[in-house]
Amino acid sequence: MAEYVQNFIDVRSFDHVVLMGNSLGGHIAALLAFKNPRNVQGLILTGSSGLFERGFSRIPGVHPRKEWIAEKCREVFYDDCHATEEVVEGVWNIINERSKLRILIQLAKSAKRDNIADILQYITCPTLLIWGKQDQITPPEVARQFQRLIPKSELVWLDKCAHAPMMECPEEFGRVLSRWWKNLGLS
């Protein structure tokens, strides 16, 4: 996945990019910031994997019940109202399409295997960590560990928020992002 994103950046001839990623997307963004320090001007991570994550436990059977999927979707959010029928249906469709499920499982296993603790100290760009205080997938200690390991990092907590802060607290997320962006001189 990191290679795919890097190829996209190269093909588009993007210079001085700011990368932002949630969960596995944060993992990929951090890898790219490490591998391309001259090209990455800033990094924003939310609920990033790479150090630890509590993912889906083993999928029960070949065709899990929709209730199980709904329960897993609710674990992503502090407020259950965000685990809408549309969200559950989207996950249901992925889980029930064999080729997509295979890719999802491969990505999840890769994310758990590829611990990036050893490279984070070499990320030189300003880094914003936006984390839900109630994140159960990548708990608060994971955010603190990212902050300790990335030299130019700032950690901002969003309360009553879990693993997807941009979905659960979009206004507050936007304000934090905007302030950080302006402080970098990117407005």
The answer to whether residues 112 and 55 touch, using CB atoms and an 8 Å cutoff, is yes
pTM (predicted TM-score): 0.86
Architecture in CATH of 2-53+119-183: 3-Layer(aba) Sandwich (3.40)
What is the pLDDT, as a whole number, of residue 8?
87
What is the pLDDT, as a whole number, of residue 110?
65
Residue 70, both tokens: 């709904």
Confidence of residue 127 (pLDDT cuts 50, 70, 90): very high
Q: Where are the domains of the chain?
A: 2-53+119-183
Confidence of residue 95 (pLDDT cuts 50, 70, 90): confident
What is the pLDDT averaged over residues 125-130? 97
Average pLDDT of the chain is 88
In b/e form, how buried is each residue of 79-101, taking b as 16+ CB within 10 angstroms?
eeebbeeebbeebbeebeeeeee
Beta bridge partners of 155: 129
pLDDT in tens, 58-86: 555 556 788 988 998 999 999 999 999 99
In b/e form, how buried is each residue of 157-173, taking b as 16+ CB within 10 angstroms?
bbeebbbbbbebbeebb
Secondary structure (DSSP) of 54-89: -------SSS--HHHHHHHHHTT-SSGGGS-HHHHH
Q: Is the pLDDT of residue 163 over 60?
A: yes
The answer to whether residues 135 and 162 touch, using CB atoms and an 8 Å cutoff, is yes
What is the pLDDT averaged over residues 42-49? 96
Share of the chain above pLDDT 90, in %: 62
The answer to whether residues 154 and 161 touch, using CB atoms and an 8 Å cutoff, is no
Beta bridge partners of 154: 128
Sequence-ordered list of residues with C-beta below 8 angstroms from that of 99, at least 6 positions apart, any chain: none
Strand-by-strand arrangement of the 40-46 sheet: 17-22, 40-46, 127-132, 153-158
